[in-house]
Structure 1
Amino acid sequence: MSALHGIVSPGRYGKQDGEPGVVASERRDIGLATIAARKGHEADLTAAVKAAYGAVLPSGPGSAVGPGVRFIGIGPGQWFAVSETLANEALADDLAERLKGLASVADHSSGRAIIRLEGPEVRAVLAKGLALDLDPRVFGDGAAATSTIGHMGALLWRDGEAYDIALFRSVGGSFWGWLRSAAAAFGLEVVTTS
């Protein structure tokens, strides 16, 4: 079930005329997992991820994309993995099998909500609750950060012109309340994804 079931409905919020400044959608049916390198195995883990997924693990905040999987640096020797092709717990199962003995893997697919924000005013809206410089010269495609948005812990990464935000499911309602208020002046269009 959607993390936002019964909390938000598709439609237009705030300013009604003209194109919406922000378009929001929940990304569902994707795999989410954390990876923590085992002591003394970070180099072997990096090589195994490159061989299995075609991506070089970032050494800091940022992300790397291989076929079907994005790896986001969240701390020393730790990454958050996101996949549309290995949905739900299939991602954690695949990672655990391919990285056996090199990393600890935990499934987060049912514990997080992923919200995608895009549109011409997305940076202005995010600036109302996020203490990060999102200028494209600083926070370019693939950039990532662990921070807070409106006092809620979040992992944010840029995918082209879109910003994906991973939040604990328990703060999904609070985030949508904040987003509706923050985007009202620009117009917020909420769409669904399958």
Structure 2
Amino acid sequence: MSEAEMTSAWQPRGAWAGATHVGRHGSSHGEAGVRLLLREEIGLATIIVAGGREAALREILHDRLGWWLPEVGTTSIQGERGLVWSAPGQWLGVAETRRDLSSLQELLQGVAAVTDQSDGRAVVRVSGHRARAMLAKGVALDLHPRAFRTEHTAVTNIAHINAQIWQRDEGPTYDIMVARSFAGSFWSWLTHAAAEFGYEVERSSAR
């Protein structure tokens, strides 16, 4: 094997590489009921507050980034950047790319532990007029608007796979995050569940 061939074999791959195919799939009748947008460039970082430092964390995030800490089970995202509640004293920072979160560790030194999760997680955005009906097939959560609305989030199981879901708008549009090692299994379930409604797969463009 040539040096060029050996080098190319080790090129970085997105979390969805090899499992997904861009385009229209499933039922071909009418408009696709589900849209799946692969968030391959997304930046993710866990933020775990140090004991007794939540007030300091809140102040730094607000003053330096214009972010605010969301309450239990909610998000505080403006555009594509912000925070998702994950557990008591723990939040998920999200942004368009990992570069947009690169300053967090230094910014929060002594206040919170920051760990980059961009390569360890896979995120897909699910939308379309049949998105809620499709997700109801496997999400262990009541997604009816009376129970789960915009800015709500939950750590749950989807088809027996641990996941975190947060609702972006009343479309409805959801972002779903799973461990990278489960991306293939999750995608298999997701596409089978979406097939009867027809679904469109797209990739987010890198900046």
TM-score, normalised relative to structure 1: 0.93
Which of structure 1's runs of 4+ aligned residues deviate more than 2 A? 65-69
Equivalent of 1:116 in 125, 131, 135: 125
Displacement, 1:89? 5.1
TM-aligned CA distance change 1:163 to 1:115, over 3 Å: same
TM-aligned CA distance change 1:148 to 1:89, over 3 Å: farther
Quick check: 1:88 aligned with 2:98? yes
Displacement, 1:25? 1.3
Quick check: 1:188 aligned with 2:199? yes
Displacement, 1:175? 1.0
Equivalent of 2:76 in 43, 64, 88: 64
CA distance in 2, matches of 1:90, 1:65: 14
Q: Secondary structure at the match of 2:197?
A: coil
Q: What is the RMSD computed on CA atoms of the aligned residues?
A: 1.4
Amino acid at match of 1:38: A
Displacement, 1:9? 0.7
Match of 1:74 in 2: 86
Displacement, 1:66? 4.8
Unaligned runs of 5+ in 2: 1-12
Q: Secondary structure at the match of 1:185?
A: helix
Displacement, 1:38? 0.3
CA distance in 2, matches of 1:29, 1:8: 15
TM-aligned CA distance change 1:68 to 1:98, over 3 Å: farther
Displacement, 1:187? 0.9
Q: Secondary structure at the match of 2:184?
A: helix
CA distance in 2, matches of 1:188, 1:73: 29
- 8 Å CA contact 1:34–1:80 kept in 2: the answer is yes
Displacement, 1:123? 0.4
- 8 Å CA contact 1:19–1:187 kept in 2: the answer is yes
Equivalent of 1:6 in 18, 21, 30: 18
Equivalent of 1:168 in 179, 182, 191: 179
- 8 Å CA contact 2:40–2:203 kept in 1: the answer is no
Displacement, 1:94? 1.1
Matched residue count: 191
TM-aligned CA distance change 1:3 to 1:55, over 3 Å: same
Displacement, 1:13? 2.0
Using the TM superposition, name which of 71-80 and 60-69 deviates more: 60-69
CA distance in 1, matches of 2:204, 2:120: 18
Match of 1:158 in 2: 167
Deviations 1:110-164 (A, max 9, x none): 1111100000000011111112121223212111111111111111111123100
